[in-house]
């Protein structure tokens, strides 16, 4: 397990196109110990996106394991952002379907 929390890039509190700001996320979730003593860890990423924004957000998480030689673990994710009007239309259709059933 890393000694420090990983740094998540590209996801500041207010997202701006092309912005790359390292920001630490302080809550780490850990899974139960798997056979062999391994565990999984994760961080929940919450961002606020203006309602008129459509596009994509790329986030990269990087952790350095302090072993010899040092090991860098990283992963990337691309999230597609839709305007909230599209989301609310989906949610209202979902509610209508629930009422019919």
Calpha distance 17→59 (Å, rounded): 12
Q: Residue 26: which H helix or E strand, with range?
A: none
The domain ranges of the chain are 7-100
pLDDT confidence band for 99 (50 / 70 / 90): very low
49-91: per-residue pLDDT in tens? 667 777 777 777 777 777 788 788 788 878 777 665 544 455 5
- Closest by CA to 43, choosing from 31, 54, 29, is 29
Q: At 51, list the tokens.
A: 């309602």
Query: What is the per-residue pLDDT for 100?
Result: 42
Calpha distance 26→41 (Å, rounded): 12
Q: Give the strand pairing for 71-81 and 41-42.
A: unpaired
Predicted confidence (pLDDT) at residue 22 exceeds the cutoff of 60: no
């Amino acid at each position: 397990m890393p000694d420090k929390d990983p740094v998540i890039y590209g996801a500041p509190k207010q997202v701006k196109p092309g912005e790359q700001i390292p920001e630490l996320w302080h809550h780490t979730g850990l899974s139960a110990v798997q056979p062999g003593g391994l565990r999984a860890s994760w961080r929940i990423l919450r961002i606020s996106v203006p309602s008129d924004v459509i596009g994509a957000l790329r986030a990269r998480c990087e952790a350095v394991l302090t072993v010899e030689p040092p090991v860098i673990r990283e992963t990337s994710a691309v999230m597609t952002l839709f305007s909230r009007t599209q989301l609310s239309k989906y949610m209202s259709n979902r509610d209508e379907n629930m009422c019919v059933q």
